[in-house]
């Protein structure tokens, strides 16, 4: 006679998972993930954990839904892309058996944080002063860095410039500025 023991040896199997999710910056979101016991006859509760880069820990959490038979909620907290100047956040999500953490199935996912256009271009300096000679066409060179900077990404950091007269009226007609389209300063 042969006795077949129902030995637990299979790792959990993902039934609800993703490779990539995209979401807007500064907008927390939740995602559901779920794995089931690979030993289907045993059907243990499945628990979950995440690993991230040390500096990203504060942005993510995972909460096993009660009992371990209904998956987990991956929580993506408030992420300020403009402050971090980063869009890609890789994570490892691991599903493991409630009674044996070594029977585990890790999977790599990436959260992509979209920039939103929520910053205006800011001048490097509020005011510049330069002396010019009358009746002489010339290019004005400021002795400080001149321009604007927008901390958003790509198109969201683009801006146009135009001259307006302050005093005397029509003063702007004597000048032009080039280029009229600006782009974010490279800050690497």
Q: For binding to Ca ion (CB under 5 A), which residues are involved?
A: 82, 115-119, 150, 152, 156
What tokens appear for 90 in the block?
A: 């890789």
Q: How far is the CB of 167 from Ca ion (least distance, A)?
A: 30
**Which CA distances in Å does 135 have to 132, 138, 173?**
9, 9, 14
Contacts of 20 (CB under 8 A, 6+ apart): 109, 110, 111, 112
- Closest separation between CB of residue 39 and Ca ion, Å? 47
User: Which residue, judged by CB position, is nearest to Ca ion in the bound state?
Assistant: 152
Question: In whole angstroms, what is the distance from residue 106 CA to residue 9 CA?
Answer: 16
Minimum CB separation of residue 156 from Ca ion in Å reads 5
Rg (CA), the chain: 28
Q: How far is the CB of 158 from Ca ion (least distance, A)?
A: 8
Interatomic CA distance for residues 160 and 172, integer angstroms: 16
Question: For residues 98 and 156, which CB has a smaller minimum distance to Ca ion in the complex?
Answer: 156
Q: Which is nearer to Ca ion, 141 or 186 (CB)?
A: 186
Q: Which is nearer to Ca ion, 37 or 115 (CB)?
A: 115
For Ca ion, the closer CB: 37 or 150: 150
């Amino acid at each position: 006679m042969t006795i077949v023991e129902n030995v637990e040896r299979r790792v959990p199997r993902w039934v609800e998972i993703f490779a990539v999710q995209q979401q807007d910056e500064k907008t927390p979101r939740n995602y559901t993930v779920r794995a089931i016991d690979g030993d289907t006859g045993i059907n243990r509760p499945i628990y979950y954990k995440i690993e991230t880069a040390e500096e990203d820990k504060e942005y993510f959490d995972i909460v096993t839904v009660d009992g371990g038979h209904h998956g987990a909620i991956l929580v993506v907290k408030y992420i300020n892309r403009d402050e971090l100047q980063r869009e890609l956040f890789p994570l490892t999500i691991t599903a493991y058996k409630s009674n044996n953490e070594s029977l585990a199935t890790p999977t790599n996912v990436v959260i992509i944080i979209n920039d939103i256009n929520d910053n205006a271009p800011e001048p490097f300096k509020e005011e510049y002063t330069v002396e010019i000679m009358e009746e002489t066409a010339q290019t004005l060179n400021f002795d400080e860095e001149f321009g604007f900077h927008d901390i958003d990404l790509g198109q969201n950091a683009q801006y146009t410039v135009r001259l307006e007269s302050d005093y005397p009226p029509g003063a702007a007609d004597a000048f032009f500025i080039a280029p009229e389209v600006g782009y974010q300063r490279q800050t690497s």
